[in-house]
Structure 1
Amino acid sequence: MKISTLTIKGFKSFGPQETRITLRKNLAAFIGLNSAGKTSALEALKRLFGSSLAEREIYREDFHIGKDENSDEITERELSIEVRIDFTEEEQEAVPHFFSNMVVDDMDMDLYIRIRLEATWKKSDMTPQGEIEIKNYFIKVPEGSTEQPDSKQPFPNHFRSLIQILYVPAIRRPAEQLKYASGTILYRVLRKINWKDDFKEEFDAKIEEINEAFKGLPEFATVQTSITGFWQQFHKDERYRDTQIGFSGSDFETVLKRLEVSFNPTGTHKSFGIDELGEGYRSMFYLTLVCSLLDVEEKMADTEDEESIGVNRPLLTILAIEEPENHIAPQLLGRVIKILKTIAEKENSQVVLSSHTPAIIKRLDPESILHFRITENYETEVNKIKLPVKKSEAYKYVKEAVHNYPEIYFARLVVIGEGDSEAVIFNRLMEVMNVDFDDNIITFAPLGHRFVNHIWKLLDALKIPHITLLDLDREREGGGWGRVKYAIEQLLEVNVEKKDLLELKDGSVLPDEDFRKMHTWSIKDKDDIKKLNDWVNSLKEYNIFYSVPLDLDFLMLTHYTDAYKKAIPKGGGPEIPDKEKNEQGFKDKTEGAVKATLKSEKATGFTYSQAEKELMIWYNYHFLGRGKPSTHIEVLSNMTDEEIIKDLPPVFNDVFNAISSILKPTSKNEKSKA
């Protein structure tokens, strides 16, 4: 049995409308920026299935208050937390317990149960915090059905032992969990042991022997006599007249409360206590205790004498863990996630974690991730990760992309580029334009590929704005009109209206037949180039920009020609025949560079000026014969901010203006925009 959906309404950051969270995997990850509602979702599970009254308690501050509401004017508020639990065909053990409360959507569909917590807060003149009423129910109608007064069946207390939650908070205090006290992990582990009466009697006898042995020591008697004598001088109360020093043997439970865990290093004689561990090891030991509890429960459930065990294993254990990355070195996070996945694969276990760290997210399947964000109304919104169809090439690409660039999940804005060159250049331009990507939570991702529409769909589903910078690749195969057509096709895939994308200057819409042939449109003269550039400019409205006329490397070379020509090692640089003394040699060199740059033996570069074709010799030297990123790093690091701004390609002004517009610019952004 597994929780398949969690539905929350009116709880903390969850607004008055139901928020449905679908848990598609045995391990589900809640991700998002700080204060997005991830912890609230985990706490909702604790309120429903907590083992103690303290964990299940509902407080006044748990009820949602809207952005523009005055809490003093609210007289009544409601919240609800509901789970749907599905049963696999293999899970027969749990069915008898819940059969009478199961529902089904249709005759040929699987049975499931619905468990809901409902709480109501009412303002009271008697108590400052108001009055809170809490009720738990089985909901005995299928999801989507109209509920009647008899649709709710009270959830009996004895069912609580069948579903347990182990809540691991962001701040780990393993020392507290090592106490033998109700509600702690150690208590729950040791309660699995069948402490038989003959064992307890023998244990008490051994303790008594130790006490007697101590009393037989003359020095020990001297200490006790001295303490008793001075104690009697301080008071005359007969109830506390004598003192007794020794090990308590009258209460077996008291002895268990003295249990401790120590760590023994190799090669020394000193043992370390839990409080002497560093924060990282404390955090990992907390997880160790959780894993141990689950392991003990599973092993004891397999024993033949299961009925003699004090508490049987629950039918479902939910491990809810906040920020498993806390205090743990990045190289150890792989082990943590591996262990959590192992727990999640157990028949009776389910793992739900929250995180806002890319190091965790990149180790999880995107299908298991749920993205949390806060809306403009300060309410939590939860979205699934939208991926292409499985087993498709696009699915493999997007899945790999989000594994390599998990930062996109936490961004306020994603800037998408073609590759490494864009990453280097944007990193430098952040300083020049005075727009700190980290400060503004902007992520750059080199994901400009033929599957970019799937990245757009993913980001649109998560409500994360994005800006895309692509190469126009004029005169390269598939470039020019092909690149424009591609972008329009991708926008149509994300449901942009065709009439908006294909509207012509006269107000008409480009016919479908003409659009299908767009990639074959010719570029013969300046009018054709202007027409192409007009279409390129029209896509800026959708935050799609192009490095014109070729790619970003060529764009930088044409704007900062002298700087790139200087970026050569001593005695290096391309071998260029003298233009006047060896005219044919220079012509051949230029024609060869054009063919290499445009990646075709038939390329002539007829849409490029003579100066641009001659620069292709340097393009070949820097960007085809050497590393692109290293060249850009060298050039930009040797240029001042003023030199960069002076000849900045206009497309970057467009991109940074779009960034400022999306982020509702601060004074810094306004300065860069000016």
Structure 2
Amino acid sequence: MKISKLKIEGFRSFGFTEVVLNLENKLTAFIGLNSAGKTTALEALKKLFGATLADRELTRQDFHIGKNENSETISERILSIEVRIDFSEEEQDSVPHFFSEMVVDDEAKDPYLRIRLEASWNKSALTPLGEIDVKTYFINVAEAEEESDENKKMFPNHYRNLIQVLYVPAIRKPAEQLKYASGSILYRVLRKIKWDDRFKEEFDSNIKGINDQFKGLPVFNTVQESISDFWGKFHKDERYKESSLEFGGSDFDSILKKLEISFSPTGTHKPFGVDELGEGYRSLFYLTLVCSLLDVEEKLAEIEDDEVIGQTSPLLTILAIEEPENHIAPQLLGRVIKILKTISDKENSQVLLSSHTPAIIKRLEPESILHFRITKEYNSEVNQIQLPAKTEDAYKYVKEAVQNYPEIYFARLVVIGEGDSEEVIFNRLMNVMDVDFDDNIITFAPLGHRFVNHIWKLLNTLNIPYITLLDLDREREGGGWGRVKYALKQLLEIGMNREELLAIDGDTDNKTLSEEDLNKMHTWKTEVNDSDLEGWVESLKEYNVFYSSPLDLDFLMLTHYPDFYKSAVPKGGGPQIPDKEEKIENFTKKLNTAIQATLKSENAIGETYSEEEKELMIWYNYHFLGRGKPTTHIQALSSMTDYDLEINMPPVFSEIFKRISEIIKGSEA
């Protein structure tokens, strides 16, 4: 059995509209920026299925207060936390416990269970914090059907033993978790051991012998007498007249409270206790403790009845781990996730974790991730990661892209570029344009133009704005008009308004580009100073799609800062250009070869490029086809001052950074 849905309404940052979290996998990750509601969602499960009264207790602060509400004027509030529980074929043994409470959507559909906590808070003249009423119900009607009070049945307290949440907070206290506590997993495991009567008698005898030996020591008796003497002076109550200093623990509860784990060898000739470990190892051991106890509990269920006491294990234990990355070295996080996946595969376990680090996210399947964000109304919003269908070629590409650049999940704005060159250049331009990507939580992702509509769909789903910089690739195969057609098609794929997107600029009859013309756009011939092409490039900026024109970003930088890039060569290096006056034939051959290599065609002549641009293609060929692109940009940029960059800034960069500032300001409004 597993929780397949968690529905939250009116609980802390979750507002008055019900939010549904689909937990399709047995290991699910909650991700997002700080204070987005991840911990709140884990806490919601604890309020419903916590092992102790303290875990399940609700306070005034648990009830949602809207952005502009004055808490002093609120007289009542309600909240609800509901789960849907489904049962797999392998876990049909759990069904009999809940059979009479199960519901079904339709014939031939699998039955499921609905459990809901409903709570109300009312202001009180007698109690400063108000009065809270909490009830938990089975909901005996399918999700799609209308509810009434008749469909609610009280959830019996003894059922709480069947479903329990084990919450691992961000601040780890492993020593405390080792102590014997009612309701803990350790308690559940140790209580199942049948303590042999003979063992108990021998244990009591040994404890008595140790106490007698201590009492035989003169100094020990001095301590005992001093305590008894002063105790008698402080009070005269006959009930507590005698005091005795001795090792207690003849009952097993006392012994279990003193259980400790030590680690050796330590290099100090003494074992270390849990509290002597570093923060990282303490955090790892906390997770070790939780996982191993779940494993032991499962194994004890298979032991013969004469060795253990009854079957008291929950049918489902939800392991809710907050920030598993805390204090742990990044290279160990792979092991942590692997162990958690192993635990989630067990029949009696489900794992939910919260995180805001890419190091964790890149190790998880995107389908198992839920993205949390806070809206402008300060409410938690939760969205699933959407990928193309697994049957599409785009699936593998997009999945690998988001796993390689998980930072996009945590961004307020994503700048999408073609490759590594863009990342190097944007990192340098941040200083010149006075827009700090880190400070504004802007992520650059070199995801290329391939399948870009799926990246756009993903970011739209997560409500993360984005700006895209593509190469125009004029005179390359599929470039120029082909690149414009590609962008238009991709924007239509994500649902942009066709009439607005394909409106023909300057047409007095408000005509739009026909489907036939759009499909043929890539065949249109690119002219010198093609105003039609530039017009479409300009219109796409309204959709945050920009182009490195006329070719790509590398050529753009070379044409705007030619002297710096010509200087970015090793001593004695360079493209070895023949003198175009003295060796015109050799120069022409070198030039034609560079044009063909740059435009990636043996028939290319660069007819839409100026003579100066074509000559720069010799340098383009040398720098960006024969050497590493990022390395060349780093070398050239390091020789430029901010002033050098600013006075020759390509207009497209100024436009992009202006748009970035507008989006960031809009998100802060």
Give the TM-score category using the shorter length: over 0.9
2:119 aligned partner, one-letter code:
A
Is structure 2 residue 430 aligned with structure 1 residue 438? no
3-state SS in 2 of match to 1:67 = coil
Q: Following TM superposition, by how much is the alpha carbon of 1:271 offset from its aligned partner in structure 2, in angstroms?
A: 1.2
Determine if contact 1:300/1:306 at 8 Å carries over to the other structure: no
Which residue in the other structure is 2:600 paired with? 599
- Whole-angstrom CA distance in 1 between matches of 2:249 and 2:48: 39
1:519 aligned partner, one-letter code:
H
3-state SS in 2 of match to 1:254 = helix
| TM-score (normalised: structure 2) | 0.97
Determine if contact 1:284/1:328 at 8 Å carries over to the other structure: yes
Determine if contact 1:188/1:293 at 8 Å carries over to the other structure: no
Q: Following TM superposition, by how much is the alpha carbon of 1:197 offset from its aligned partner in structure 2, in angstroms?
A: 3.8
Which residue in the other structure is 2:650 paired with? 649
Which residue in the other structure is 1:422 paired with? 422
Which residue in the other structure is 1:299 paired with? 299
How many positions carry a matched residue from both structures?
665
- Whole-angstrom CA distance in 2 between matches of 1:396 and 1:666: 32
Q: How does 1:147-166 map to 2 (within 5 A)?
A: 147-166=147-166
3-state SS in 2 of match to 1:663 = helix
Is structure 2 residue 120 aligned with structure 1 residue 117? no
Q: Following TM superposition, by how much is the alpha carbon of 1:264 offset from its aligned partner in structure 2, in angstroms?
A: 1.6
Cα gap change, 1:433 to 1:370, in 2 (>3 Å): same
Determine if contact 2:105/2:144 at 8 Å carries over to the other structure: no
Determine if contact 2:528/2:609 at 8 Å carries over to the other structure: no
Q: 1:521 aligns with which of 504, 521, 524?
A: 524
Determine if contact 1:49/1:165 at 8 Å carries over to the other structure: yes
- Whole-angstrom CA distance in 1 between matches of 2:307 and 2:80: 36
Which residue in the other structure is 1:341 paired with? 341
3-state SS in 2 of match to 1:522 = coil
Q: Following TM superposition, by how much is the alpha carbon of 1:262 offset from its aligned partner in structure 2, in angstroms?
A: 1.4
Runs of 4+ in 1 over 6 A off after TM superposition: none
Which residue in the other structure is 1:289 paired with? 289
Q: Following TM superposition, by how much is the alpha carbon of 1:97 offset from its aligned partner in structure 2, in angstroms?
A: 0.4
Q: Following TM superposition, by how much is the alpha carbon of 1:350 offset from its aligned partner in structure 2, in angstroms?
A: 0.4
Cα gap change, 1:666 to 1:141, in 2 (>3 Å): closer
- Whole-angstrom CA distance in 1 between matches of 2:667 and 2:457: 28
User: Structure 1 regions of 5+ residues with no counterpart?
Assistant: 668-674
Which residue in the other structure is 1:322 paired with? 322
3-state SS in 2 of match to 1:343 = helix
Which residue in the other structure is 2:515 paired with? 512
Which residue in the other structure is 2:220 paired with? 220
- Whole-angstrom CA distance in 1 between matches of 2:306 and 2:494: 56
- Whole-angstrom CA distance in 1 between matches of 2:608 and 2:384: 45
Q: How does 1:376-395 map to 2 (within 5 A)?
A: 376-395=376-395
- Whole-angstrom CA distance in 2 between matches of 1:240 and 1:139: 54
Determine if contact 2:79/2:120 at 8 Å carries over to the other structure: yes
Which residue in the other structure is 1:541 paired with? 542
Q: How does 1:275-674 map to 2 (within 5 A)?
A: 275-305=275-305, 308-309=308-309, 312-504=312-504, 505-506=506-507, 507-526=510-529, 529-664=530-665
- Whole-angstrom CA distance in 1 between matches of 2:622 and 2:72: 71
Which residue in the other structure is 1:173 paired with? 173
- Whole-angstrom CA distance in 2 between matches of 1:79 and 1:226: 58
Determine if contact 1:178/1:185 at 8 Å carries over to the other structure: no
- Whole-angstrom CA distance in 2 between matches of 1:278 and 1:299: 31
- Whole-angstrom CA distance in 2 between matches of 1:266 and 1:185: 29
Cα gap change, 1:272 to 1:266, in 2 (>3 Å): closer
- Whole-angstrom CA distance in 2 between matches of 1:484 and 1:135: 59
Q: Following TM superposition, by how much is the alpha carbon of 1:575 offset from its aligned partner in structure 2, in angstroms?
A: 1.1
Which residue in the other structure is 1:670 paired with? none
Determine if contact 1:204/1:252 at 8 Å carries over to the other structure: no
| Residue deviations 1:218-274 (CA, integer Å, cap 9, x gap) | 443344345444554666554444432221254332222222221121555211111
| TM-score (normalised: structure 1) | 0.96
Q: Following TM superposition, by how much is the alpha carbon of 1:288 offset from its aligned partner in structure 2, in angstroms?
A: 1.3
3-state SS in 2 of match to 1:445 = strand
Q: Following TM superposition, by how much is the alpha carbon of 1:157 offset from its aligned partner in structure 2, in angstroms?
A: 0.8
Q: Following TM superposition, by how much is the alpha carbon of 1:313 offset from its aligned partner in structure 2, in angstroms?
A: 1.5
Identity of aligned residues (%): 70
1:600 aligned partner, one-letter code:
S
- Whole-angstrom CA distance in 2 between matches of 1:554 and 1:115: 62
Which residue in the other structure is 2:255 paired with? 255
- Whole-angstrom CA distance in 1 between matches of 2:414 and 2:368: 22
Which residue in the other structure is 2:100 paired with? 100
Determine if contact 2:422/2:446 at 8 Å carries over to the other structure: yes
Which residue in the other structure is 1:67 paired with? 67
Q: Following TM superposition, by how much is the alpha carbon of 1:101 offset from its aligned partner in structure 2, in angstroms?
A: 0.2
Determine if contact 2:301/2:311 at 8 Å carries over to the other structure: no
Q: Following TM superposition, by how much is the alpha carbon of 1:511 offset from its aligned partner in structure 2, in angstroms?
A: 1.4
Q: Following TM superposition, by how much is the alpha carbon of 1:56 offset from its aligned partner in structure 2, in angstroms?
A: 0.5
Determine if contact 1:418/1:448 at 8 Å carries over to the other structure: yes
Q: How does 1:37-56 map to 2 (within 5 A)?
A: 37-56=37-56
- Whole-angstrom CA distance in 1 between matches of 2:667 and 2:300: 60
- Whole-angstrom CA distance in 2 between matches of 1:230 and 1:58: 45
Determine if contact 2:5/2:83 at 8 Å carries over to the other structure: yes
Greater mean alpha carbon deviation, residues 533-542 or residues 389-398: 389-398
Which residue in the other structure is 1:671 paired with? none
Which residue in the other structure is 2:32 paired with? 32
CA RMSD of aligned residues (A): 1.7
Determine if contact 2:266/2:272 at 8 Å carries over to the other structure: no
Determine if contact 2:193/2:307 at 8 Å carries over to the other structure: no
- Whole-angstrom CA distance in 2 between matches of 1:299 and 1:263: 25
- Whole-angstrom CA distance in 2 between matches of 1:99 and 1:5: 19
- Whole-angstrom CA distance in 1 between matches of 2:315 and 2:386: 32
Determine if contact 1:191/1:310 at 8 Å carries over to the other structure: no
- Whole-angstrom CA distance in 1 between matches of 2:287 and 2:365: 21
- Whole-angstrom CA distance in 1 between matches of 2:627 and 2:117: 64
- Whole-angstrom CA distance in 1 between matches of 2:540 and 2:234: 90
- Whole-angstrom CA distance in 2 between matches of 1:587 and 1:540: 38
